[in-house]
Structure 1
């Protein structure tokens, strides 16, 4: 299961359980709470009516039933019309019943007129009240139907400080059931709304968290490749920005970036040490062999040959060190010192640097095409073109020409040499990777195109290499850089 679904289900489960238990508590407490309020109201009503009935009980008027003043005042009150809105519940009838019993528990008055003369002495409410205790009970009119429950509350009728009778008020549960049902419906609706809001919040929180985790994952995937081989591609990729995120996720992203930089630095050093060691083995071995032979008594011709070999290998080592330092400085740079410059002017400067060498080898240099300008660093552009020209000069056959073609934000260097095998084209630009020269020598350092790629990477441009049969064509495209970096 995906992380987002796990987080959502966990969030929804926790909130669902919390909502269930809270709603359960509310649902369970509604009925008891309503009954407590109802009983409290009935207690006050019973004691108030008992005080009013005390005068008629003392005079004996209640013994004659309807002739008492108390009975006349309450006669038919339940039939009186009433229209009352209690919050959102409508009340259209009075359903409280009032009964009065004497000291023996015999009914002297009944507001409904049903049980006059009945014996109530064994009912719990009357029985306990006659003994000076609190009397109350709940009885079902229909034993199997809870909705038929009636709550009874009794109060003593005092005459000269003695209990002379009992006044009982009763109220059926169905009269308050509408209030209970209304409250339960409101709580149920509120609970459903709470669950839906929780689900919405859960979705939002999960989406926010997963979005940032995916950004972290995408960042990790983009930087997980080997950094030393960034030049293996003919199109340099832009550096991956650290995702900006709040709180601990932002700290995690920054920690990942710091870890990436440390790993890149270690990979950079290890790769350089391995490659440099491999490149140094051949010239060092050649110098050592020549040195050992020079210690012997050799003919002048052989001594001159081995001495020249030492000089050649030293020059190769010097070129290797110089280009390594140059590439290292470029890789440490993060931005350009850009100013608007001309590709044509840069190309002419680069051609002037190799003009004498090209003339000695009988190779012509030709510059064609319209000029382009852009916000580039002129020195680096000249360096890139010079490396391409030097590379073309190594492969161009005598009495041939190297063509430098200018285009819209592009420059192409093409020679008429043997080209490069199609399988090796993707490797052009790797550090220390070289191909044999036409004369069979391996004089290059394998860093020239790496330097070109780094320069294009800094400019936000790209390098494209293709065989032209005969020859090799290398195009530098600065178009993506123009107008974007300053």
Structure 2
């Protein structure tokens, strides 16, 4: 759940950054649009001034160049000498940088506020070319090759008796606008970061207040699923507290129902086969009395099979119902292993199995429940015997380590466990066919082993060996 919160916050942050970044990118175009709009007005005002002078003195139409020079030369010379201090927001402006040139109807410059353009043919430049065509003339380009930013060129037509006789272009170097754009960007980012920080703080506080009880409840439900025993947490919110208790009760009821259903179904399935065999044997005894001895053995074997299944189910249910057991017995592991191996001697001989023992010298002791540890070792050893091939070797190794750990390893040379089955071998009722007879077991042996070892805080590891065989390793913490 915490991960989801961080994912949501990450997505929100990315979206917020995208919005801010796109808005920041739009500052420059918006500034340039504002400058262009102002220059357009300025250009039309100045061209209108020229047109008025032509109306006042029509003869000047044929002295167009001298007219515009008389009109603009001295004002531009004057403005270049003028110094002033204009604090525009946080920036100080000390001189005017606006420029202007005027072309005739052929596009040749007849006046230039900077002097260097006069006489040049500008008829191919968009501001002059488009204006002479009766369109809106504008371009953005460099004034000099060394410039990086260039300038905005906004033109307007000069008309005499509805005929375009020239073009007046106002120029604004972008270098004069850049400081304002950068200042606006910096201010925008400062405000955005302040807003983002405030949102992050508020979001974190709300997430902590809102989601912490939900996280506690989620962790508690996870612990129930993992069968960890922890007390119900204090959630602080009545509705969540009530919900948690209801979920707790529901989980307990569902687990109990599932537990009973699973046991009943498995018991029914497992008992069905031996019962059918018993019933069939009884019928055959009635019709073939001479087969009584053989059929009686079959009935006895199947009855013992049912009895063993019931005993295992009862034992497993008893173990699963315990959170802890008394671990007061001092267990001599080597003696216990010798005792268990002696009990299996007949089965070893029946399959011609060899037993290799590798025990550390001296006494290896641990605290635990000796009856349960014996049962676990027997189940592991029985599995090895059932899956081993005739004349195979079963190795039993017991090693005590320096860090108070005891390793018990039982391995065989029989068939390996399929990869898909390795994670399931300790699950209740999961069983694989034996190599001889292909009959499956009840699937409870390793489940009982796992429950016993969990009660002893021991670690169980099952892995395949190369080229074949299985190793079962038990790690006891002998504190």
Structure-2 residue corresponding to 1:331? 320
Give the Cα–Cα distance (whole angstroms) in 1 for the partners of residues 432 and 201 of structure 2: 62
Give the Cα–Cα distance (whole angstroms) in 1 for the partners of residues 476 and 442 of structure 2: 26
Structure-1 residue corresponding to 2:469? 471
Structure-1 residue corresponding to 2:359? 369
Give the Cα–Cα distance (whole angstroms) in 1 for the partners of residues 272 and 253 of structure 2: 29
Structure-1 residue corresponding to 2:340? 350
Give the Cα–Cα distance (whole angstroms) in 1 for the partners of residues 235 and 365 of structure 2: 42
Q: In terms of mean alpha carbon deviation, does 345-354 or 212-221 score higher?
A: 345-354
Equivalent residue runs for 1:280-359 within 5 Å: 280-298=271-289, 300=290, 302-339=291-328, 340-359=330-349
Equivalent residue runs for 1:439-450 within 5 Å: 439-442=436-439, 444-450=441-447
Aligned: 1:389 with 2:387: no
- Deviations 1:306-349 (CA, angstroms, capped at 9, x unpaired): 22221111111111111111111111111021135343343233
1:405 counterpart SS class: strand
CA contact (8 A) 1:414 1:472 kept: yes
Q: Unmatched 5+ residue regions in structure 2?
A: 10-196
Equivalent residue runs for 1:199-348 within 5 Å: 204=205, 207-224=208-225, 239-247=228-236, 248=238, 249-250=240-241, 252-298=243-289, 300=290, 302-339=291-328, 340-348=330-338
In the alignment of these two chains, the number of paired residues is 277
Structure-2 residue corresponding to 1:451? 448
How far the C-alpha of 1:295 sits from its partner, in A, is 1.3
1:258 counterpart SS class: helix
- Deviations 1:151-176 (CA, angstroms, capped at 9, x unpaired): xxxxxxxxxxxxxxxxxxxxxxxxxx
Structure-2 residue corresponding to 1:434? 431
CA contact (8 A) 1:418 1:438 kept: yes
Give the Cα–Cα distance (whole angstroms) in 2 for the partners of residues 201 and 467 of structure 1: 54
1:423 counterpart SS class: coil
Larger radius of gyration: 1
How far the C-alpha of 1:202 sits from its partner, in A, is 9.2
2:408 counterpart SS class: strand
Structure-2 residue corresponding to 1:98? none
Give the Cα–Cα distance (whole angstroms) in 2 for the partners of residues 314 and 471 of structure 1: 32
CA contact (8 A) 1:242 1:254 kept: no
Instruction: Go from structure 1 to structure 2 and tell me whether the alpha carbon gap of 1:436 and 1:251 turns closer, same or farther (over 3 Å shift).
Output: same
2:414 counterpart SS class: coil
1:295 counterpart SS class: helix
How far the C-alpha of 1:411 sits from its partner, in A, is 0.9
How far the C-alpha of 1:400 sits from its partner, in A, is 3.1
How far the C-alpha of 1:356 sits from its partner, in A, is 3.6
Give the Cα–Cα distance (whole angstroms) in 1 for the partners of residues 244 and 264 of structure 2: 30
Give the Cα–Cα distance (whole angstroms) in 1 for the partners of residues 215 and 288 of structure 2: 72
CA contact (8 A) 2:380 2:472 kept: yes
2:421 counterpart SS class: helix
CA contact (8 A) 1:343 1:411 kept: no
CA contact (8 A) 2:216 2:233 kept: no
Length-normalised TM-score, structure 2:
0.51
2:247 counterpart SS class: helix
- Deviations 1:219-241 (CA, angstroms, capped at 9, x unpaired): 324545xxxxxxxxxxxx66252
How far the C-alpha of 1:431 sits from its partner, in A, is 2.1
Give the Cα–Cα distance (whole angstroms) in 1 for the partners of residues 461 and 425 of structure 2: 10
Give the Cα–Cα distance (whole angstroms) in 1 for the partners of residues 230 and 460 of structure 2: 23
How far the C-alpha of 1:358 sits from its partner, in A, is 2.4
CA contact (8 A) 2:394 2:410 kept: yes
Q: In terms of mean alpha carbon deviation, does 256-265 or 350-359 score higher?
A: 350-359
Give the Cα–Cα distance (whole angstroms) in 2 for the partners of residues 397 and 200 of structure 1: 68
Instruction: Go from structure 1 to structure 2 and tell me whether the alpha carbon gap of 1:349 and 1:205 turns closer, same or farther (over 3 Å shift).
Output: farther
Give the Cα–Cα distance (whole angstroms) in 2 for the partners of residues 427 and 369 of structure 1: 30
How far the C-alpha of 1:267 sits from its partner, in A, is 0.8
